[in-house]
Structure 1
Amino acid sequence: MSTGLGTLLLADARLPVGGHTYSAGLEPALLDGMPSDRVADYIAARTRTVGLVEAAASVLAHRAVGGAAAPGPATDGPEGVGVDAGALADVHEALLARSPSAPLRDISGLLGRGLVRLADRLWPEHPAVKALRTLGRAPQRPIALGVVAAVMGSDEAEVARVSLYDDAQTVASAALKLAPVDPVEAAGWVLGAEGVISASVAEALAVRGPDDLPARTAPQIEGWSLEHQLKTRRIFVA
């Protein structure tokens, strides 16, 4: 699999990792009264806060497992070279410490578990996949994303960009199910986020280690997630 194709696959909404269950917080935002014409602003706000933290965590996870792809059927390369399970666990703990909302941690774990399942099917013996499994049943999505991207051969910039693009696209796709939105307009929101995404990619790549991981929060999004958890009529988990 070429690097470009692997990265595109990770950004594909049809990837069977459970992304269809998640609105990136848009459903509770709209239910609380946020008008649909502010969705582009919502995407930009997420990119600068939650998105940046997750992209940086994905980059650090990518580095922790060496950032190298399996050369063959996941058994050919030097076993364990470049894979630091301890460093991966440190990044995971740092991300959890920056994720105060239990419902958002839960959905991130659900999405992470989907990526682990994918990795287990495709590269069950790869050292990076084995290191990912040591984090438990449901590692946070950004960590799993960084590891899977490394196994696929994506570079750090691609990892950061796909993390941020996926978040923006998740919001735009959810909007089509939640509000009277023209699909062309939704595509325009994602295209319009290119500037803030590129700036956030640069910030994510500048992070050097878990202690340096940004701690930017979005209190309103976290509050909405706690309220949404209690609702009995909803389309998305969060």
Structure 2
Amino acid sequence: MVDSGTLAMLLADARLPTGGHTHSAGMEPALLGGLKRDDIPSFLAGKTRSTTLVEAGTAVVARHHFISEAAPSGIDALIAAWAARTPSPALRDASRLLGRGYTRIGRTVWPSSASIAFCAQLRQPPRAVVLGAIAATALMKPADLVRLVVYEEVQNAASAVLKLDPIDPATVVTWVLNACEVAEPFVHQLSLITTPEAIPALGAPQAEGWAEAHSVMKKRLFRA
């Protein structure tokens, strides 16, 4: 069994063919909506303290359910809880598209996993649920799973900046580290949750509005 940290690095690698390169984690909608470059670090930190914690919490609960049983009966309730905490249809659609990419990776790398096979039978499961199934299959530690979700969200957004509003890449690295540091105080608490009710209910109305406006634009570089 591969080490939990190694698995986290694999799944966080931008070269992983999940379709993540087509998503800006809300950065393109934000910049098109009027976000200034000087405000990007605050945007990333705010994202880390809100919607990213919803994603991370959902993934941890999914992992718990899949470890308990390969085809858990509580997954529908979990997806409903995630959807209730993700009111933007555009953001839900983006997560489901990413979930499809992770499911494909999971079926290829862990072909005998009943948990991942279960996800493949669901109707467009969100990314967090599929990540939970992968984490359960590979016995990934909950804390590593939380940090993976946080890093992936922040790194996708920060990487998009280099295409949308080019800046010194070293500066962007600093933004990523600072945003991940913001999430660190929440890692332990999130790693312990086991029920949908315990998932943080944190929203980002401005970012959700930007995402909805972005979804109907005819000219855009990223899907979301």
Matched, 1:199 2:185: yes
**Aligned twin of 1:75:** none
Find the aligned partners of 2:199 and 2:177 in 1 and give their Cα distance.
27
Contact 1:54–1:163 (Cα < 8 Å) also in 2: yes
Matched, 1:97 2:97: no
**Aligned twin of 2:43:** 42
**Aligned twin of 2:97:** 110
Matched, 1:23 2:24: yes
TM superposition score normalised by structure 1:
0.89
Number of aligned residue pairs: 223
How far off its partner does 1:206 sit?
4.2
Q: Which moved more, 1:189-198 or 1:19-28?
A: 189-198
| Helix, strand or coil at the partner of 2:87 | coil
Structure richer in helix, relative to its length: 2
Whichever residue aligns with residue 51 of structure 2, its letter is V
Find the aligned partners of 1:123 and 1:206 in 2 and give their Cα distance.
25
TM superposition score normalised by structure 2:
0.94
Matched, 1:225 2:211: yes
Matched, 1:7 2:16: no
1:3–1:111 CA distance, 2 compared to 1 (3 A): same
Query: How do 1:130-209 and structure 2 match up within 5 A?
Result: 130-136=117-123, 138-209=124-195
| Helix, strand or coil at the partner of 2:132 | helix
**Aligned twin of 1:76:** none
Q: Residue deviations 1:29-56, cap 9 Å, x none?
A: 1112211121111111011110010000
**Aligned twin of 1:129:** 116
State which structure, 1 or 2, has the greater radius of gyration over its C-alpha atoms: 1
Find the aligned partners of 2:50 and 2:173 in 1 and give their Cα distance.
21
Contact 2:60–2:194 (Cα < 8 Å) also in 1: no
Find the aligned partners of 2:181 and 2:102 in 1 and give their Cα distance.
28
Matched, 1:215 2:201: yes
How far off its partner does 1:107 sit?
0.7
Query: How do 1:67-82 and structure 2 match up within 5 A?
Result: 82=69
Q: In percent, how many aligned pairs have the same letter? A: 39
How far off its partner does 1:211 sit?
1.7
